[in-house]
Amino acid sequence: MTQTIDSAAARDAGRPPARTPSPRKPRRRIHRAWIVAAVTFVTIIGGAAFNSLPGLLIDPLRTSFGWSRGEIGLAVSIDMALYGLTAPFAAALMDRFGIRRVVVVALSAVAAGALASVWMTAAWQLMIYWGVLVGLGTGSMAMSFSATVTDRWFVARRGLVTGILTAAGASGQLVFLPLCAWIVAHHGWRPASVTVALAALVVVPFVWLLMRDHPADVGLAPYGGAFVAKPAPARGAAGRTVRVLLDAARTGPFWLLAGSFAICGASTNGLIRTHFVPSAHDHGMPITAAASLLAVIGVFDIVGTVFSGWLTDRIDARRLLAVYYALRGVSLLFLPMLMEPTVRPPMVFFIVFYGLDWVATVPPTLALCREQYGEDSSIVFGWVLASHQVGAALVAFLGGVARDRFGSYNVVWYAAGALCATAALMALMIRRKRQPAEPMAAVAAG
């Protein structure tokens, strides 16, 4: 009534009637889960910077110290093995002490190992600094770190988030491989090692200030889910990790997942990341050019992994894995024919293809772990990741030995291609876990 009188009075006075302001829509705030995911992404990039170094430094270390490829490969294999063996315990330690504390200590270990290597003079020191310190540090920020963050902070979009966080390692490779290759070529290997140490240290403040262990710490529900109270710190982290392994080891899917993922590690980190650059250099390609090709793998790895996460939410994960491994094996069989002093289109095609497939295996593997092992899936995935790194460690060492013995990497490429075919078959052998039937009353009510 009052508004009508005011409008009439406004018309009599020759003024337009006042408009009642429409209510503003409240701004949608970004869920804290995405901020935590972003910090996790940056953390993995900083921790993964060291992974750019081994392939670049094999020849410079041989020149500086006279060490064989086998000796250098042994240090890299120790790093990869400890990376894998630390991962399942890191997931349990995050349950006990919190994500922030574990990750800060891990970044500090990576920085210490990379920085200490500047003053090494013997091969055993390389194995301590690169193998033990860096291996323990990077292992504590392994894919189980991504799995823990994803499981705690997300209910919806888990496959997509897994793909994005998995791609962080490739993003680190994209950033640091060309940079470190340029530093090695123009200033030597020591400044490159210092650069990696600084990259790990720079991330520490972001983790401490922005990372949170659980959505309940800030009074939130996980993204796409209902509020869940923060569980009490889990004591006996090491014992729980071993118990989960023993329980999982009694099931067939665990061995199929672990075996296929070991081949995944052998054909990526152990083979391409460690030996592609020296192999290309054997054929006359400059180190900077070969490192740039690895960086391009990182570009397409991001695309392939995120897309794989999207597919994992929609397609049977076993079939995805079989396709990924089969295509990877075929590409490795052709690689020896593509090695030339200059970069030609067939090599570019291989790099793009391999990049799309690099860690596309992670989202479906993690999805199968969740399906098979429920609340223990992060720790089980940690053990599956351990097998990935053991496979990588064996090939990092044996690849160097094969090159010393045969004068060529060809036999290694062919063997890896055959192994990938085996992994494809293993993926198809995994039986889907039957979901419990819904009660009849619930079905009727639906």
pLDDT at 2: 46
pLDDT band at 444 (very low <50, low <70, confident <90, very high): very low
| Residue located via tokens 């900083």 | 46
pLDDT digits (tens, 9 = 90+) for 126-171: 889 888 888 888 878 766 688 788 888 888 887 788 778 877 776 6
CA distances from 429 to 241, 321, 322, 329, 365 (A): 26, 11, 10, 18, 13
Cα–chain center distance at 2: 65
| Average pLDDT, integer, range 240-249 | 88
| First CA to last CA distance, the chain | 48
pLDDT value of position 258: 94
386: nearest Cα among 274, 270, 261: 261
Phi and psi dihedrals of 223, rounded to 5?
Answer: -60, 125
Instruction: Quote the pLDDT of residue 443.
Output: 31
- How confident is the model over 386-396, as a mean pLDDT? 86
Residue among 159, 393, 409, 172 at smallest CA distance from 279: 409
Instruction: Kindly tell me if the per-residue pLDDT of 396 is higher than 90.
Output: no
- Residue 127 carries which DSSP code? I
β-sheet bridge partners, residue 154: 223
421 has pLDDT over 90: yes
Nearest-angstrom CA–CA distance, 445 and 439: 10
pTM assigned to the model: 0.68
Tell me how far CA of residue 375 lies from CA of 244, 253, 314, 424, in angstroms.
10, 16, 22, 27
User: What would the pLDDT profile of 166-208 be if each residue is shown by its tens digit?
Assistant: 777 766 766 787 788 888 888 888 998 898 888 888 888 888 8
Query: For residue 177, what are its two tokens?
Result: 């491989």
Q: pLDDT for 270-296, tens place per residue?
A: 888 888 888 888 888 887 888 888 778
- Closest C-alpha to 366, from 154, 207, 53, 134: 154
Band of the pLDDT at 322, cuts 50, 70, 90?
very high
**3-class SS at 85?**
helix
pLDDT(446) > 50: no
Cβ atoms of 118 and 271 within 8 Å: the answer is no
Angstrom distance (rounded) from CA 293 to CA 359 = 17
- Residues, the chain, total? 446
Smallest Cα–Cα separation from 158: which of 303, 10, 363? Answer: 363
Query: Average pLDDT in the 403-409 region?
Result: 85
Count other C-beta atoms under 10 Å from residue 210's C-beta.
16
* Res 93 pLDDT > 50: yes
Q: What is the mean pLDDT of residues 320-333?
A: 92
Q: Which two tokens stand for residue 418?
A: 């055959």
pLDDT at 27 over 80: no
Q: What is the DSSP string of 214-260?
A: -GGGGT-PPBTS---PPPPPPS-HHHHHHHHHHHHTTSHHHHHHHHH
Whether pLDDT at 22 is above 70:
no
Number of C-alpha atoms within 13 angstroms, CB side, residue 412? 27
In this prediction, residue 435 carries a pLDDT of 54
Measured torsion, CA atoms of residues 274, 277, 283, 287, in degrees rounded to the nearest 10: -150
Residue 174 pLDDT: 67
Under the banding of pLDDT at 50, 70 and 90, the label for residue 364 is very high
Least confident of 78-92, 104-118, 399-413: 78-92
Question: Does position 302 have pLDDT exceeding 80, yes or no?
Answer: no
Distance CA 402, CA 406 (A): 6
